Amino acid sequence: MNFIQKITFSKHPEEEIFAKQIKSLTGYKPKDLSIYKIAFTHKSANRKDDEGNILNYERLEFLGDALLDASITAFLYHNLPNSSEGELTQMRSKIVSRKYLNEIGKDLDLVHLAKKPSSKRTFSYNVYGDLFEALVAALYLDRGYVMMDRFIHKKLISKYINLEKLLGKISSYKSLFIEWCQKNQKDYEFVTFEDTGNSHIKHFSVKLFINKRIISKGRATSKKKAEEIACRRAYYKYQKKMDDSSE
């Protein structure tokens, strides 16, 4: 390498570091680093290209979501030959759930690479899963489907998926609870109200009633999550009755 090449190569040390981080993360040397830059750019950075197109990970997240579905669908199809279409669909929804993807994104420390306008800014917990989906899409666009699929198997399937455990996992306590109430002719009601408490972040509190008697409560940053928490608590309270009625 001559003197001019050395100068040229050392002009962008940050890009060199970022490229090494992507290779360490995915196992593959990036061909087009710009795709990965977009994959780790949060919308709050308000970045655009010369033509005014928005540059953040949201479009890649959309693509990555579909690619994850395809990869996981193929995995389940080949590994659960006796499962019906409905069972396969439920299994897939468990695997690509926000909780699973957030755990993976956090374990990979993807937020460390995310570009944000201020070091003081904090991200929501869901950003871990969003970044993982965006990374999947970036890898697909840069290196193709086969390498992307290998990455998903290595980082998600082999480390996080236990088919035996997932087969017995409840994907929605709310759906299970409502089905049990309807089957056993029990009246149920969710009473929801905003509850900020001492936090500046809005929360929702839910009281769950059966036959006009409160049986559990839930609190979360969304109404849906609060209802799910309340139903999960109700399930463990009535687990024996609910399991017996499902047999």
Separation CA 178–CA 157 (nearest Å): 31
For 216, the enclosing helix (H) or strand (E) is: strand 213-220
For residue 42, give every residue at least 6 positions away whose Cβ sits within 8 Å of its Cβ, in sequence order, or none: 56, 57, 114, 115, 116, 123, 127
What's the rounded Cα separation, in Å, for the pair 41 and 158?
A: 28
From the candidates 58, 65, 103, 179, give the one annotated as an active-site residue: 65
Task: Report the distance separating Cα 189 and Cα 204, nearest Å.
Answer: 16
Token readout for 171 is 């994907």
Q: Which of 133, 149, 227, 228 is catalytic?
A: 133
Type of residue found at 218: G
Q: Which residues pair with 188 in a beta bridge?
A: 210
Q: Nearest CA to 191 among 208, 174, 177, 215?
A: 208
Would residue 55 be called left, alpha or beta, if left means φ above 0 and alpha means ψ between -120 and 50 degrees? beta
Measured torsion, CA atoms of residues 57, 62, 66, 67, in degrees rounded to the nearest 10: -20
Our answer to whether residue 130 is catalytic in this structure is: no
Q: How far apart are CA 159 and CA 30, in angstroms?
A: 23
In the residue annotation, 65 being an active-site residue is answered as yes
Active site residues: 65, 133
